[in-house]
Structure 1
Amino acid sequence: MVTVKRAAAGIAMAFLSYSAAASNTLSDTRSVGMGGVGVASANYLTASFHNPALATQNKRHDRFGMILPVVGARVYDGGDLHDRVDAFQDLNDLLAANPNDPALQEQWRAALLDLDNERIDGDVNVGMVIAIPNRLVSTNFFVSSHAMALLTTDIDENDLNHNQIVNSNAQGVMGGTVDIGFTFAKEFIFLDRDLSLGISPKFQQLLAYNYQDNIDTFDDDDFDFSSDYVDKSAFNADVGAAYALSRNVMLGLSAQNVFSQSLKTNISNGNQATFDVNAQYTAAVAYNHPRFTVAADVDLNSNKPFKEQAYKTQFARIGFEADAWRLAQLRLGYIHSMTDYADDLFTAGIGLKPFGKFGLDIAAIYGNEDNYGASAQLVFHF
């Protein structure tokens, strides 16, 4: 008996196997440890993932930097949906063998109703960046990829009345992007303060996949991502601004994927989904002290990755980083969901730079109901 959790993981892993040579468009490990902030608090190395204007935020001694690679993953399985689907499929087999058992019929209906409007979702990210800061135009080269898998269940009331699966179904959809681009940022003087403007033009490849089947026969052995996924290429860009309100306070504003893109998936059992990549606007503020950083980011609009699904996200984030003589960093964060389709999350991370030039960052994500994730990256400064 196959599980829905395994099925959702199959979608995400299939995409990752395709795009692992690329990278991550969601976030870097430092940001993950700090609750996902970065629009006002990213450094010159991680600016391409958050706000291209911050590519100017290098120290005087920074001449070259690299992140290679950053890898992260997150999964949510609220209420052990995979176990409940397995239990229902077992009951369905028993009912097929004993169709006139009233007690079994009642158990079957209760188990089916328990699956209505449930979900499993997950993200996979891989990334890298090469940064060359300078006084003329700070420049980063980045490659990033992000895949999101969403599996939902929909129960039809007519099936409950007839003790037979006709329309109740499970659907797994996946959408992902692979970005290859450059970040260019320049610092100006505005009202006696530093104003940085940045842009990241990028080649973008979109990938999408859809699999739907009746809830009693949903099986990941039927997944055929390698031949059934669809893709298309496009041009996109991220833009941003960062303003030093004072010596320690930075304001940030970013717009990612300013050109909206859309991609229809393959057709599965007569069903098709639409993967949308729309502009995401975020405002932020950060207080940067030599020994610590406190930052807050707020999404100004929601993100709805699949047109036919109600699922959408919008977050407010807060993060903290304490620095110990640039040799080690402790990070904490909190992510508040502004929609009913995601939960609040706690994050924590550490950074280690024992030799100054080379560093390792690790971060973890935790939330209620089996919502967890992890991220790691290698960092080089010269």
Structure 2
Amino acid sequence: MVTVIRAAAGIAMVSLSLPAAASTTLSDTRSVGMGGAGVASANYLTASFHNPALATQNKTHDRFGMILPVIGARVYDGDDLHDRVDAFQDLNDQLASNPDLEEQWRAALLDLDNDRIDGDANIGMVIAIPNRVVSTNFFVSSNVTAILTTDIDESDLENKEIVNSNAQGVVGGTVDIGFTFAKEFIFLDRDLSLGISPKFQQILTYNYQDNIDSFDDDDFDFSADYVDKSAFNADLGAAYALSRNVMLGLSAQNVFSQSLKTNISNGTQATYEVKAQYTAAFAYNHPRFTVAADVDLNSKQPFKEKSYKTQFARIGFEADAWRLAQLRLGYIHSMTDYADDVITAGIGLKPFGKFGLDIAAMYGEGDNYGASAQLVFHF
């Protein structure tokens, strides 16, 4: 388990060291292509990532399915903070031998105040065995969030010496290993599916802080300094077929709140929090296309000490070509000021019916790019 999240954390931290990388909402690649929507539109294979109740949504010919693996990453650095930190450090090295750079040095330092880079990464897999009694999935899902922030102390501007101005990188993530169980009932002459995903959860955190003149992302040492703990958690879900084509969905992920403090780095520490996330959704499913919309009912603030929080509304579209290929489009609208809107696109290829490859990409203003990919097997 630790190996899985180390890999995901590595992706997130490498992403933060680049000027651009990936998404705003990550789970399975199909949903990434559809703007992250999935609480009412996921299939039986991807239900464990969105809404456990949808594990009942298999076709009559589906007997066994597998996603192995799904992988994705994203980072947002809209103001080129990484490059500006490098530029300031170059100026700082030159200042001692060239006093004429003093005003330029002050301006470059002040320009770094209260800035941020944030990123996410995920790795996962699913094995699904649908049936009429209780549809069952086994899943592994690793999700990591990383945030880099800068804090400039104005006293350093006058002293021309970096004493209190700093940069801090924090990482928090979970590895979920669990089973999804879903059952379909008749309610008011319509199909009602209820699902639950009890899961063993490994939580890991990491913190690295240093003065802004010496901060170097190459010094991140997650494998040596991370803090971890184990917990039990669960996801709950419901899906109601309002008509033959219309599905309503409601999910609650991580219903048991958890928190974990990071390691101490230069006297600083952060608290990673795992709290319940509630999402309501709608989907119109036609044999040839699907239209879906998800709305987060509450915001998510991964680190207690950081004001950074996210909440999204998502819309997605998928067109199916005789089950051989699928074209996907989506749009993610940020409901907070800490993220930007993103457009997404993806394609699914199943030329032989049993085996498929899904890929997706996303784009937003500034340095906001992303990608996701997964291999899918149906039997």
Alignment correspondent of 1:46: 46
Pair 1:137-2:134 in alignment: yes
1:310 match: 307
Alignment of 1:160-171 (within 5 A): 160-171=157-168
Q: Does 1:219 align with 2:219?
A: no
Determine if contact 1:294/1:321 at 8 Å carries over to the other structure: yes
Q: Is the 8 A contact 1:197 1:240 kept in 2?
A: yes
Q: In the alignment, is the contact (CA less than 8 A) between 2:12 and 2:73 conserved in 1?
A: no
- The question of whether the paired residues in 2 share the 8 Å contact of 1:229 and 1:265 is answered with yes
Runs of 5+ unmatched residues, structure 2: 1-8, 16-24
Residue 79 of structure 1 corresponds to 79
2:59 maps to 59
The one of 163, 167, 174 equivalent to 2:171 is: 174
Which residue identity does 1:334 align to in structure 2?
Y
User: Contact 1:10–1:220 at 8 Å: present in 2 too?
Assistant: no
Listed as ranges, the matches of 1:81-96 within 5 Å are: 81-96=81-96
Secondary structure at the counterpart of residue 79 of structure 1: coil
- Match for 2:318 among 316, 321, 330? 321
2:251 matches 1:254: yes
Cα-to-partner distance string for 1:311-349 (whole Å, 9 max, x where unaligned):
000000000000001110000000000000011101000
Moved more, 292-301 or 224-233: 224-233
Residue deviations 1:267-320, cap 9 Å, x none?
A: 000000000000000000000000000000000000000010010000000000
Q: Secondary structure at the match of 2:79?
A: helix
Aligned residues: percent identity? 88
CA contact (8 A) 1:11 1:149 kept: no
- Among 278, 281, 286, the alignment partner of 2:278 is 281
Indicate if the aligned counterparts of 2:347 and 2:358 stay in contact, CA closer than 8 A.
yes
| Distance in 1 between residues matched to 2:68 and 2:83, nearest whole Å | 37
Q: How much has 1:121 moved relative to structure 2?
A: 1.3
Give 1:338's aligned residue.
Answer: 335
Q: Equivalents in 2 of 1:50, 1:26: separation in Å? A: 11
**Alpha-carbon separation, structure 1, partners of 2:219 and 2:350:** 46
The residue identity in structure 2 corresponding to 1:44 is Y
Report the CA distance between 1:14 and its aligned residue: 7.8
Answer whether contact 1:130 1:142 (CA < 8 A) is retained: yes
The residue that corresponds to 1:294 in the other structure is: 291
Counterpart residue number, 1:4: none
Q: CA RMSD in A?
A: 1.6
SS in structure 2 of the partner of residue 73 of structure 1: strand
TM-score normalized with structure 2 length: 0.93
Equivalent of 1:202, from 187, 199, 205? Answer: 199
- Which residue does 1:21 correspond to in 2? none
Q: Does the 8 Å contact 2:346/2:359 carry over to 1?
A: yes
- What is the aligned partner in structure 2 of residue 126 from structure 1? 123
What amino acid maps onto 2:167 in structure 1? A
Where does residue 34 of structure 1 map in the other structure? 34
For 2:119 and 2:141, the matched residues in 1 are separated by: 17
Deviation at 1:222, TM superposition (A): 2.8
Structure 2 match to 1:354 = 351
Alignment partner, residue 153 of structure 1: 150
Q: CA deviation at 1:97?
A: 2.7
Give the SS at the match of 2:119: strand
Partners of 2:311 and 2:274 in 1: how far apart? 14
* 8 Å contact kept, 2:11–2:73: no
For 1:8-23, what aligned pairs fall within 5 Å after superposition? Answer: 12-13=12-13
| 4+ residue runs over 4 A deviation | none
TM superposition shift of 1:257: 0.3
The AA in structure 1 aligned to 2:74 is: R
CA distance in 2, matches of 1:271, 1:297: 37
Under a length normalisation based on structure 1, what TM-score does the superposition of the two structures give?
0.93
The 5-angstrom pairing of residues 236-251 of structure 1 reads 236-251=233-248
Deviation of 1:113 (Å): 1.1
What code does the residue aligned with 2:236 have?
Answer: V
For residues 168 and 333 of structure 1, the distance between their equivalents in structure 2, rounded to whole angstroms, comes to 40
1:113-167 deviation per Cα after TM superposition (whole angstroms, max 9, x unaligned): 1111111111111110000000000000001101111101111122123222111
| Contact 2:12/2:74 (<8 A) preserved | no
Query: Of the candidates 175, 180, 185, which is equivalent to residue 183 of structure 1?
Result: 180
Which amino acid counterpart does residue 172 of structure 2 have in structure 1? G
- Determine the C-alpha separation between the residues in 1 that align with 2:254 and 2:367: 30
**TM-superposition CA deviations, 1:219-276 (whole Å, max 9, x none):** 2343221111000000000000000001100000000000000000000000000000
2:224 maps to a residue whose letter is S
1:83 partner SS:
helix
